[in-house]
């Protein structure tokens, strides 16, 4: 469960800002959900025979003896909250959330035990237009974040529950005839969750899978039409994708559409964002029949991807100006002038001198801070109601004295106002 350090948070904030603005522009509303839920909720929604529920959940008994679980994902809690708070009154309902998730996995690059997801859920749209909305939104997000060249989209249809059941039988019959060639995990899954075997990375199992029946041939008419509708919308909008018949996802609640945005830039942890349709989930959790579709992206993997793309934070952390003061009286004067500057120039990043230190040592700190300008108040400046302004960077301003009343104008001229957001 890693700490996210001050040197890293600027990139996180950039991602959060871009996602928040984009979702706002698509009429999604944020919902904030608890980190703990009754264990039952996840067993019923994610499925008993999944990696998450079988071996990844942090589950414990609280003081009353109730079994609680740190949320491993957001969809189940979101559906619970939607039902408990009667939010299905006016559909469609478009929601998003962000925050930490917990899974007891082997930590490695792009895989932590506490990680962060930004998730989107939309309820009450039965057609593929909502999946198209999500995928267009995501394609735009990748462009805004500068990672579009590094990700590609894979989609598939899992069909109806009946189609999956029929396919499951055919798959089990086929794989059962090749039992010796399967890896141990897959052999175990054959009796519990055979569709997950399609996801296996084991070379021997992959060879067997090459000859396996394809889910595609078992698809029901409705699911096929749904997929065709989604593809037509994506084609018209110019979103490039690959149909991957082996894409299944690790959660039981998906049906019809599933998709993943994947990258080759992050080694084995290549899935940056995953989602699909879960029309049965709301009824499964005790609600009225309500369709649903959504996705979740892994923020850590996105941060790594921005790194791979050479994209940094979009705003600098260094102060614009650093105050250097001679004595207590000079410091009082500096605080008064600084407050007036904060009124006039709210964008100005200004670091005060607090604590002990000679003017000489303060100048060293000003240099190390990365500030563009030092604002210096010694006895002379104080007596004259002026501030000395000195450029700290190579080729910067030579030192000059400015009346305190004119300082804001000088700084606005020297430092400029922040650039306005560019279009993507």
Least spacing, CB of residue 73 vs ligand ATP, in Å: 5
> According to the binding rule CB under 6 A, does residue 296 interact with ligand ATP?
yes
Considering beta carbons, is residue 259 or 323 the nearer one to ligand ATP? 259
> According to the binding rule CB under 6 A, does residue 300 interact with ligand ATP?
yes
Out of 75, 117, 157, 404, name the contact with ligand ATP by CB under 6 A. Answer: 117
> According to the binding rule CB under 6 A, does residue 102 interact with ligand ATP?
no
Stretch that binds ligand ATP, among 16-24, 228-236, 272-280, 312-320 (CB under 6 A): 272-280
Out of 111, 152, 187, 231, name the contact with ligand ATP by CB under 6 A. Answer: 111
Measured CA to CA, the distance from residue 333 to residue 325 in angstroms comes to: 9
> According to the binding rule CB under 6 A, does residue 45 interact with ligand ATP?
no
> According to the binding rule CB under 6 A, does residue 301 interact with ligand ATP?
yes
Considering beta carbons, is residue 97 or 322 the nearer one to ligand ATP? 97
> According to the binding rule CB under 6 A, does residue 250 interact with ligand ATP?
yes
237 is written with which tokens?
Answer: 């909008």
Stretch that binds ligand ATP, among 297-305, 324-332, 363-371, 406-414 (CB under 6 A): 297-305
Least spacing, CB of residue 135 vs ligand ATP, in Å: 15
Q: What φ, ψ does residue 234 adopt, rounded to 5°? A: -65, -40
> According to the binding rule CB under 6 A, does residue 193 interact with ligand ATP?
no
Measured CA to CA, the distance from residue 338 to residue 354 in angstroms comes to: 13
Least spacing, CB of residue 176 vs ligand ATP, in Å: 25
Contact (Cβ atoms closer than 8 angstroms) between residue 127 and residue 226: yes
Least spacing, CB of residue 171 vs ligand ATP, in Å: 20
The residues, ordered by sequence, that sit 6+ positions from 334 with a Cβ below 8 Å of its Cβ are 323, 325, 352, 353, 375, 377
Considering beta carbons, is residue 202 or 220 the nearer one to ligand ATP? 202
Least spacing, CB of residue 46 vs ligand ATP, in Å: 9
> According to the binding rule CB under 6 A, does residue 276 interact with ligand ATP?
no
- Cβ atoms within 10 Å, residue 13: 13
Least spacing, CB of residue 91 vs ligand ATP, in Å: 25
> According to the binding rule CB under 6 A, does residue 269 interact with ligand ATP?
yes
Chain contacts with ligand ATP (rule: CB under 6 A): 73, 103, 105, 110-112, 115, 117, 250, 269, 271-274, 296, 298, 300-301
């Amino acid at each position: 469960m890693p700490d996210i350090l001050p040197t890293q948070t600027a990139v996180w904030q950039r991602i959060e800002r871009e996602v928040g603005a984009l979702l706002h522009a698509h009429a999604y509303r944020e919902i904030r959900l608890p980190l703990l839920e009754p264990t039952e909720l996840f067993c019923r929604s994610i499925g008993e025979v999944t990696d998450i529920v079988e071996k990844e959940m942090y589950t414990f008994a609280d003081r009353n003896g109730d079994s609680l679980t740190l949320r491993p994902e957001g969809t189940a809690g979101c559906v619970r909250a939607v039902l408990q708070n009667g939010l299905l009154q006016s559909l469609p309902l478009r929601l998003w959330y962000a925050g930490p998730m917990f899974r007891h996995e082997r930590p490695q690059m792009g895989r932590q035990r506490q990680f962060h997801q930004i998730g989107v859920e939309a309820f009450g749209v039965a057609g593929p237009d909502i999946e198209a909305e999500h995928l267009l939104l995501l394609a735009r997000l990748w462009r805004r974040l500068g990672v579009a060249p590094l990700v590609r989209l894979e989609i598939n249809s899992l069909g109806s529950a009946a189609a999956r059941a029929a396919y499951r039988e055919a798959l089990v019959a086929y794989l059962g005839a090749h039992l010796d060639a399967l890896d141990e995990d897959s052999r175990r899954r054959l009796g519990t969750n055979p569709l997950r075997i399609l996801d296996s990375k084991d070379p021997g199992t992959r060879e067997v899978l090459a000859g396996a029946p394809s889910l595609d041939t078992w698809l029901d008419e409705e699911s096929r039409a749904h997929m065709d509708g989604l593809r037509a919308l994506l084609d018209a909008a110019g979103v490039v994708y690959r149909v991957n018949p082996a894409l299944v996802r690790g959660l039981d609640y998906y049906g019809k559409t599933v998709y993943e945005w994947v990258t080759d830039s992050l080694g084995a942890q290549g899935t940056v964002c995953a989602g699909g349709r879960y029309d049965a989930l709301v009824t499964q959790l005790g609600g009225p029949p309500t369709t649903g579709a959504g996705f979740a992206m892994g923020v850590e993997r996105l941060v790594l991807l921005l790194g791979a793309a050479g994209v940094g934070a979009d705003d600098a952390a260094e102060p614009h100006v650093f105050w250097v003061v001679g004595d207590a009286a000079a410091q009082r004067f500096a605080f008064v002038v600084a407050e007036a500057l904060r009124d006039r120039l709210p964008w100005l990043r200004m670091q005060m001198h607090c604590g002990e230190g000679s003017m000489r040592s303060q100048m060293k700190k000003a240099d190390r801070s990365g500030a563009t300008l030092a604002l210096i108040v010694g006895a002379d400046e104080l007596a004259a109601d002026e501030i000395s302004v000195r450029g700290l960077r190579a080729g910067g301003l030579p030192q000059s004295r400015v009346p305190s009343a004119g300082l804001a104008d000088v700084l606005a001229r020297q430092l400029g106002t922040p650039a306005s957001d560019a279009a993507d």
